[in-house]
A and B are shown apart, each in its own frame.
Chain A
Amino acid sequence: METVIDAKHISVKYITGDLRNIGLKEFVMKKLTHKYHVEEFWAVNDVSFTVEKGDMLGIIGTNGAGKSTLLKVITKIMKPSTGTVKVNGRIAALLELASGFDGDLNLKENAYLRGAMLGYTREFMDRKYPEILEFSELKEFEERPFKQLSSGMKSRIAFAIASMVEPEILILDEVLSVGDGAFREKSEAKMREIIQNGKATILVSHSIDQVRRMCNKVLWLDHGRQVIFGDAEPICNDYAEFLKTKKLPQYDKL
Chain B
Amino acid sequence: MLSRIKQNAKQYRFLFEVLVKRDFTKKYKRTILGMIWSVLGPLMTLGVLAIVFTQFFGRNMEHYVIYMFCGNLLFSYFRESTTGGMTALNANAPIFSKVNVPKYMFVLSKGVSSTINFGINLCVLFIFCLFDGVTFTWKFVLLLYPIICLIVFNLGMGLILSALYMMFKDLQYLYDVFTLLLMYLSAIFYSIDAYPMQKQYAFYLNPVYVYIRYFRKIILEGTIPKWTFHLLAAGYALVALIVGAVIYKKNNYKFLYYI
Contacts and interface: CB of A to CB of B under 8 A. Distances in A.
* Range of interface residues on B (Cβ < 8 Å): 20 to 34
A100 B97 CA distance: 9
Contact of B100 (A77, A100, A104): A77
Nearest to A121: B14
Interface string B70-103: 0000000000000000000000001111111100
Nearest to A110: B22
Given A75-B100, A77-B100, A122-B17, A104 B95 contact: no
Contacts of B193: none
Interface stretch (A19-27, A56-64, A203-211, A225-233): A19-27
Main secondary structure of the interface of B (DSSP, over half): helix
A27 B168 contact: yes
A19 B257 contact: yes
Given A14-B257, A77-B98, A117-B99, A19 B167 contact: yes
A102 B22 contact: yes
Nearest to B101: A117
Nearest to B171: A24
B258 interface: yes
A15 interface: yes
Contacts of A117: 15, 95, 98-99, 101
Give the 5 A-B residue pairs with the shortest CB-CB distance, closest first: A23-B170, A116-B15, A24-B168, A76-B100, A116-B18
Given A19-B258, A25-B170, A102-B26, 16 more contacts: A15-B257, A16-B257, A20-B257, A21-B169, A22-B168, A24-B168, A24-B174, A77-B99, A77-B256, A95-B98, A96-B98, A100-B94, A100-B99, A117-B99, A117-B101, A119-B11
Interface of A: 14-16, 19-27, 72, 75-79, 93, 95-96, 99-100, 102, 104-105, 109, 112-113, 115-122, 125
